[in-house]
Chains A and B, each alone.
Chain A
Amino acid sequence: MALLEASGVWKSYGGVVANRDISLHVNDGTIAGLIGPNGSGKTTFFNSVVGSHPVDNGSVRFDGREITRLGVRQIARLGLLRTFQQTRVYGQMTCVQNMLISMSERGRGLGNLFTSQRSAAADRAGELLEFVGLYPKRELLAGELSFGQQKLLEFAMALMNEPKMLMLDEPTAGINPTLINGLIDRLKRANADFGVTLFVIEHNMRVIMNLAERIYCLAHGELLAEGTPDEIQANPLVVDAYLGAH
């Protein structure tokens, strides 16, 4: 069953068409990948899906609901989260605080915020920090962490929110290569153990071929190819796009 379904999504900035008639779907419980050369419209497409900007045309459905015209906050509260290419954490707050405030607000109103910070969620926050290997640094300010650690924290924060689907924008960019395998492993466990559907933008081919069950390739704002990792690797169009013959 498709958890996320985009059909005919268009988005242009002035005269530049960043997303041209893109249709794709991500099935519930799977890991899907989105690849493409720089400037091919991957991040724009993510922004279109999560409501960062209005799309020009087309529709996006999530979990059986039309979300094309919803804003970032409403979409996040439906359980569709995204992480950012440049890490975004709350720099002047400790890792634990970052986790606690990332607890899901789904279906909860403002009143829920007027409850104590020290809740049952603290245990879960600790577990997830342990999961990404940041438990020893839990009392440090998030802004003092290295870039790679901030990415891990951001990932843990997203899991804390218990989303149905998580869209990750280049999770391995800027991460020490020796740590990448650990990250792939955690992404897979998040998918298998926590049941989070993943949709991943990635430039590292080794990572995405290893991770995703289904891959979509964008080039010049258009959907160029889709298929399993093997099909994508064998597709001459994709090879051309990456080598610049397009």
Chain B
Amino acid sequence: MRAVRIATYLALLAAAAVAPMFVPEYQTQLTDLFLFIVFALTWDLVGGQMGYNSFGNVLFFGIGMYACAVTQVGLVYDVGAYNAARGGGATVFTFDVGQYVQGLAIGLPAGAILAALAAVVVGGLVLGMRGQYFAVCTLGLGFAAGEIANGWEWLGAGSGMVPATPPSEMADIKLFYYYLSLGLAAVTFVVLSWLYTTRFALAINAIRDDEDKAEAMGHLTTTIKVTAWTISAFFLGIAGAIYGNVRGFIDPIDVAFPSATIGVWMILMAILGGKGTIIGPVIGAIIFQITKELFWIYLLGWQRVALGLLIVLIVVFFPQGIVGWVRERRPRAVSAAGQ
């Protein structure tokens, strides 16, 4: 069964790798989808596996995004002056191929590391709270970060920031980001799959089921919780770094810290697919992305209403998610699939 599973994953990966040649019109949506898979997987590590429902993971997303953009620009120009110019002014800010590649090569890890560091610091402060208190507190995190970025002139404040623009030689940069997103989704999936075979997974499941008991059994619960959030933030930071470049413009609230959209979507995708499983968030992200695109195409003007209705339907009829729903009806099939 293990061989079948790995073969399936490799086939999917191969299909995704050649997709831009066959359906180039969907390249943008697929890039988004891969990043969405990362959002759902990283959210589920803390929200599903550990039972800490975070509404504030966009914090790490936005920090990764800004950290990468600032690194990309800052290696060549003064960030303050660059943002103050607002794309106009006397100075022309261009990046040659070497500068662009170098900026990205340093910017992506910088985004990951800064996001992870933020998780260590913030996690140490808020992971002492439990249940709805934690959820509400994290809800504030994303909004607070958005407001801070919105007023921070150095980062471009409310006018936003443009990450380094690719030089004209790199015309196929969108394709590059397609593969980068695909690679990130694949690596995140593999790393989390491995993580869920370790004792660490049992420990965070134990915290989800009864944290007091885990503590009474001598588990270093706070350290474990902060570690889980840090791993989650690390990958989400890279996703943010890529997303900022894909969008080409960072609005502090709508793109970097979008609590009301991506912040909620990442939770929905994990719930829709099935919390606390490795495959659930992936399935959830795929179905969500398809549905969302269909709404935007066919229900334009009403797309947000439709999405809101979908959210209600998911929560009411699929509280256990698709994987949980299937597992209830066909327990054998799912356990054979390694869940």
Q: Which residues of A contact B (CB under 8 A)?
A: 50, 72-73, 76-77, 81-82, 84, 88-93, 97-98, 100-106, 110, 112-117, 119, 143, 157, 161
B203 touches A (CB below 8 Å): yes
Q: How far is the CA of A112 from the CA of B227 in the complex (A)?
A: 13
CB-based contact B199/A112 at 8 Å: yes
Taking a contact as CB atoms under 8 Å apart, the answer to whether A76 and B199 are in contact is no
| A–B complex contacts, Cβ < 8 Å, 23 sampled | A76-B217, A88-B213, A88-B216, A89-B210, A89-B213, A90-B205, A90-B210, A93-B205, A97-B202, A101-B199, A101-B202, A101-B203, A101-B205, A101-B214, A103-B199, A105-B218, A105-B220, A110-B220, A110-B224, A114-B198, A116-B198, A157-B217, A161-B217
Chain B contact-residue range equals 20 to 34
**Shortest distance in angstroms between B144's beta carbon and chain A's nearest beta carbon?**
29
A117, B213: Cβ atoms closer than 8 Å: no
| A110 neighbours in B (Cβ, 8 Å) | 220, 223-224, 227
Q: Which of A84, A88, A113, A157 contacts B224 (CB 8 A)?
A: A113
Q: Which of B202, B210, B212, B216 contacts A100 (CB 8 A)?
A: B202
Q: Are A113 and B200 in touch, CB under 8 angstroms?
A: yes
Query: Which one of B206, B218, B223 lies within 8 Å of A77 (CB-CB)?
Result: B218
Greatest chain A CB density within 10 A among B205, B210, B217 is at B217
Question: Contacts A90-B205, A90-B209, A90-B210: A72 and B215 contacting too (C-beta < 8 A)?
Answer: yes
Contact assessment for B221 and A73 in the assembled complex, using a CB-CB cutoff below 8 Å = yes
Chain B interface (Cβ < 8 Å from any Cβ of A): 195, 197-203, 205-206, 208-210, 212-221, 223-224, 227, 276
B198 and A93 within 8 A (CB): no
CA distance A72 to B221 in the complex (A): 11
Q: How far does the Cβ of A152 sit from chain B's closest Cβ, in whole Å?
A: 15
Taking CB atoms, residues of chain B closer than 8 Å to A77 are 218
Q: Which residues of A contact B218 (CB under 8 A)?
A: 73, 76-77, 81, 104-106, 161
Smallest beta-carbon distance A169→chain B, Å = 11
Given contacts A88-B212, A116-B197, A117-B197, contact A93 B202 (CB under 8 A): yes
CA distance A88 to B276 in the complex (A): 21
| Complex alpha-carbon distance, A105 and B218, angstroms | 7
Beyond known contacts A89-B209, A113-B203: 4 more, CB 8 A cutoff? A77-B218, A81-B218, A88-B216, A117-B202
Bound: A73/B276 CA distance, A = 26
Closest B residue to A93 using CB positions: B205
In Å, the complex CA distance between A89 and B206 comes to: 9
Alpha-carbon distance A72/B219, docked complex (angstroms): 10
Say whether B202 contacts A81, CB under 8 Å.
no
Q: How far is the CA of A88 from the CA of B217 in the complex (A)?
A: 11
A102 to B213 CA separation, bound complex (whole angstroms): 10
Q: How far, in whole Å, are A77 and B217 apart by their CA atoms in the complex?
A: 8
The answer for the CA separation of A50 and B220 in the assembled complex, in Å, is 15
A117 and B205 form a contact (CB under 8 A): no
With A104-B218, A110-B223, A157-B217 in contact, is A91–B209 under 8 Å at CB?
yes
Q: Are B199 and A92 in contact (CB under 8 A)?
A: no
A88: min CB distance to chain B, Å: 4
Q: CA–CA, A103 to B218, complex, Å?
A: 10
Give the complex CA separation of A157 and B277 in angstroms. Answer: 25
Q: Are B205 and A113 in contact, with the CB atoms below 8 A?
A: no
- The residue of chain A having its C-beta at the shortest distance from the C-beta of B196 within the complex is A117
Residue numbers in B under 8 Å from A102 (CB-CB)? 217
Q: Which 7 A-B pairs have the closest CB atoms?
A: A76-B218, A90-B209, A101-B202, A88-B213, A113-B200, A77-B218, A113-B199
B residues less than 8 Å from A143 (CB atoms): 209
Provide the residues of chain A in CB contact with B213, threshold 8 Å.
84, 88-90
Q: Please report the C-alpha to C-alpha distance between residue A73 and residue B199 in the assembled complex, in whole angstroms.
A: 18
**Chain B residues near A105 (CB-CB < 8 A):** 218-220
Chain A residues within 8 Å of B223, by CB: 110
User: Could you say which residues of chain B place their CB within 8 Å of the CB of A161?
Assistant: 217-218
Given contacts A90-B206, A92-B205, A101-B206, are A117 and B217 in contact (CB under 8 A)?
Answer: no
A91 to B214, CA, bound (A): 12
Complex-state Cα separation, A161 to B217, whole angstroms: 8
Minimum C-beta distance from B137 to chain A (A): 23
Question: Chain B contacts of A104 at CB under 8 A?
Answer: 218
- Which A residue's beta carbon lies closest to that of B213? A88
Q: Return chain A residues, CB-CB under 8 Å to B199.
A: 100-101, 103, 112-117, 119
Give every chain A residue within 8 A of B212 (Cβ-Cβ): 88
Among A81, A90, A102, A104, max chain B CB count under 10 A is at A90
Instruction: Decide: A117 and B201 in contact? CB cutoff 8 A.
Output: yes
Q: Which residues of B contact A76 (CB under 8 A)?
A: 215-218
- Closest CB in chain B relative to A203 CB, distance in Å: 22
Contacts of B209 in A (CB 8 A): 89-93, 143
The smallest beta-carbon distance between B215 and chain A, in angstroms, is 5
| Given A92-B205, A101-B203, A73-B219 contact (CB < 8 Å) | yes
- Docked Cα-Cα span, A148 to B221, in Å, equals 27
Residues of B within 8 A of A119 (CB): 199
Q: How far is the CB of B193 from chain A (nearest CB, A)?
A: 13
Residues of B within 8 A of A97 (CB): 202, 205
Shortest distance between the CB of B195 and any CB in chain A (Å): 8
CA distance A84 to B213 in the complex (A): 9
Separation of A62 and B214 alpha carbons in the complex (Å): 21
